[in-house]
Amino acid sequence: MGYSDISLGLSIAFMVVGLVALVWSSDVFVAGSSVLAKALGISPFVIGMVIIGFGTSAPELCVSVMSGLSGHADLSLGNAYGSCSFNIAVILGVSALILPLVTKPAISFVAGPGLAAITLFSLWLLRDGICSRVEAGMLLVAFAVLLPLYCWFDQKTNGASAAPEAGVADATGGTACGRKLLKAFVQVVVGLLVLVGSAHILVWGAVDFAKFVGVSDLVIGLTIIAVGTSLPELASAIASARRGEHEFVLGNIIGSNLFNTLAVVGIATFLSPFKATADGSPAFSPYILTRDLPVMAVLSLSIFAFGINWRRPTQAGRIIRWEGVLWVLSFVAYSVLMFLQETGRW
């Protein structure tokens, strides 16, 4: 699937409209999914990490799939990996600035190192500059194994149990609840349809914008698209931080990064494997292997370094404001390095 050339003004319009529609449709999709999940008695943790965390990553999924199908591997991978780095360095950083984040030992010891290990696994799979359907399948299998394993571990350590939301599951036969569930179902369907359409428009505009300004698909994917598709996570995290819902903030980002690294890249490359070019060159920029994935791994490990209670490791720790500042500054430094390398000045 290719994209025909459009004017600079139209490409900018496509990007703006696409991003706005992505944010709106993802919010609608997440809201509907959350209501349906509660009605089915899914636990609050699963709603926070899986339904909301993965739901807010729906824009990344749509954009990466569309980019991959249209032959833009750099845009596809840049969007997925750029969103992961933005999620930790900026979203968690800003959240910690609003209110220091309380981190459970399970998050510090399992989530951070776990995300780093997944990043290194991705680096190993992509080391030859291609990604076949078999390798994409390995990412999806890892996702299918790790998701229920992490949910089980968290519920075991918390002693949480899934229970239907009061007044929802008990009233499923009522007219009001029936209308509520029907509305939620419509929200899921409409949100998903708009997500797919807006992702198509956004990718089209981004590809042509990159041509006009003379930068690579990777730069656009790592910056404009990655930040734009992460807006739902940012809005959700800020609102949760203000309410002091620490686990929701961290669960949202951990779930989103897990989904982006394994499911988004896995689905995109399974539908359209990244093959070497006719002259034998890699399917994507080598900077993904030498810069972007290593940065992701370090940022993931920083969740462990910042979140652990070094004096009493078995007790909850805190990610404080100066650590949030350090995260944000690290993303600024990463962005500067990226532009210097991509423009040939480094």
The answer to whether residues 25 and 191 touch, using CB atoms and an 8 Å cutoff, is yes
Residue 167 confidence (pLDDT):
46
Tokens of 309: 């209670």
- DSSP letter at 318? E
Residue 22 confidence (pLDDT):
73
Distances in Å between the Cα of 257 and the Cα atoms of 53, 178, 210 are 8, 34, 26
The answer to whether residues 229 and 61 touch, using CB atoms and an 8 Å cutoff, is no
Residue 92 confidence (pLDDT):
92
- DSSP letter at 311? S
Residue 139 confidence (pLDDT):
95
Task: Find the largest Cα–Cα distance for the chain.
Answer: 65
Tokens of 30: 């997440």
Query: Counting Cβ atoms within 10 Å, is residue 148 exposed (0-12), middle (13-18) or buried (19+)?
Result: exposed
CA 305 to the chain's CA centroid: 21
For the chain, where are the alpha helices, taking DSSP H only? 8-39, 44-46, 53-55, 58-69, 73-86, 93-98, 105-106, 112-125, 133-158, 175-213, 217-220, 226-229, 231-242, 246-258, 265-271, 287, 293-307, 321-342
Q: How many CB atoms lie within 10 A of CB 91?
A: 27
Residue 169 confidence (pLDDT):
46
Separation between Cα atoms, residue 35 and residue 54, nearest integer Å: 15
SS3 category, 230: coil
Residue 298 confidence (pLDDT):
96
| Tens-digit pLDDT string for the chain (346 aa) | 445 567 888 888 888 888 788 778 767 776 776 676 667 666 555 666 666 666 667 777 777 887 888 788 888 898 889 889 999 999 999 989 988 888 888 778 888 899 999 999 999 999 999 999 999 999 999 998 887 776 676 666 655 444 444 444 444 456 767 788 888 888 878 876 786 677 667 767 877 787 777 777 788 777 777 777 676 667 667 766 776 766 767 877 888 898 899 999 999 999 989 888 777 788 888 999 999 999 999 999 999 999 998 888 888 888 999 999 999 999 999 989 988 887 777 7
pTM to 2 decimal places: 0.76
CA 73 to the chain's CA centroid: 17
SS3 category, 131: strand
Separation between Cα atoms, residue 202 and residue 20, nearest integer Å: 10
